[in-house]
Structure 1
Amino acid sequence: MYVRSFQLSDYGPVTALLEDVLSEDCYELTMGAFARQLSWDSDLVLVAVEQNEIVGMIIGTIDNNKGYYYRVAVMPEYQRQGIGQTLIQGLKQRFEQRNVTKIMITADEFNEKVLPLYEKLGYATGDFFRSFQKLSIVAG
């Protein structure tokens, strides 16, 4: 298994992976973020490849010099084999190469079940960025 940057030819397999692994609501939300990130900086989208098949992916972004892990997904039959950890570490290296000042984990209602994985890798509760507010809501 190896991790590399997303390539345009990965779009079909990655969307199929996300559709398989994520709930319908999470998939819709993730696809919007995935498209935005690809248009901004595709080097922060990584895929895990095993025998020429994409078995996992991670989406990250940088905002105001902070790196954010957005979504990590691994095919069910490949879960609990260290692929998620490898993807997280690969993205961390990208963040460090770009000298981000802090790395955060986007903790929305869909990421709650993977937060223990980040904790296992040394991230603390203070590293979790919780935002459940819809972006379309304007504060008055």
Structure 2
Amino acid sequence: MSLTTIKLQPLTEKHLSEVIELDQICFGGLWSLEGYKREIESPNSTLLIITTDIKNEEKIIGLGCFWAIVEEAHVTILAIHPDFQRQGLGKMLLEKLLKQAKEKGLERATLEVSEHNQSAIALYEKFGFALAGRRKKYYQATGADALIFWKKLT
């Protein structure tokens, strides 16, 4: 599906039902409605969404989040709706998240990704993330390991 207008903006409560739907599609229900509400209210969370117009209606097609923990940005979510992947949206979202982390004075970024998610791993490596470790059987649904990646932001 091609995109005409895309916007990158902070997640607000008015978007929550759509974000829950995207979370379900991309992660099988990683976070609950209450979880997203807590994230919106937390001064340590940065949540961004990507929207586009589909049939004259704004739809959420991407979601990203990081937590500011001491001097680190922990990227907790990076999701693009499957119908809109491979169009540079994940790159755009990650770029904006890392820019905002730098603006907050954070020095490093970290994230976990499934060992089987080759497209995400390739994206993170393009941004200079380096493999730092592995969490064995981290993903309960599949038993897959999580790869831990780190990057200096300064």
TM-score, length of structure 1 as denominator length: 0.77
Q: CA deviation at 1:112?
A: 5.0
2:99 to 89, 93, 97: 93
Q: CA deviation at 1:36?
A: 3.7
Alignment of 1:1-140 (within 5 A): 1-23=6-28, 27=29, 29-31=30-32, 34-41=36-43, 44-51=46-53, 52-105=58-111, 107=112, 109=114, 113=117, 114-126=120-132, 130=135, 132=138
What is residue 138 of structure 1 aligned with on the other side?
A: none
Task: Give the Cα separation in 2 of the matches to 1:33 and 1:101.
Answer: 26
Task: Give the Cα separation in 2 of the matches to 1:22 and 1:42.
Answer: 22
Q: CA deviation at 1:37?
A: 2.2
Divergent runs of 4+, >6 A: none
Cα deviation digits, residues 44-93 of structure 1 (max 9, x gap): 10000111211110111111121111111111110111111111111111
Task: Give the Cα separation in 1 of the matches to 2:17 and 2:10.
Answer: 15
The sequence identity of aligned pairs, in percent, is 18
Amino acid of the residue matched to residue 94 of structure 2? I
Greater fraction of residues in helix: 1
Runs of 5+ unmatched residues, structure 1: 134-140
How many aligned residue pairs are there?
Answer: 127
Q: CA 1:40 to 1:129, structure 2 compared with 1: closer, same or farther past 3 Å?
A: farther
Greater fraction of residues in strand: 2
Amino acid of the residue matched to residue 108 of structure 2? K
Task: Give the Cα separation in 2 of the matches to 1:56 and 1:100.
Answer: 23
Task: Give the Cα separation in 1 of the matches to 2:127 and 2:99.
Answer: 14
The structure with the larger Rg is 2
Contact map agreement 1:6 1:42 (CA 8 A) in 2? no
Task: Give the Cα separation in 2 of the matches to 1:86 and 1:68.
Answer: 17
Task: Give the Cα separation in 2 of the matches to 1:118 and 1:17.
Answer: 21
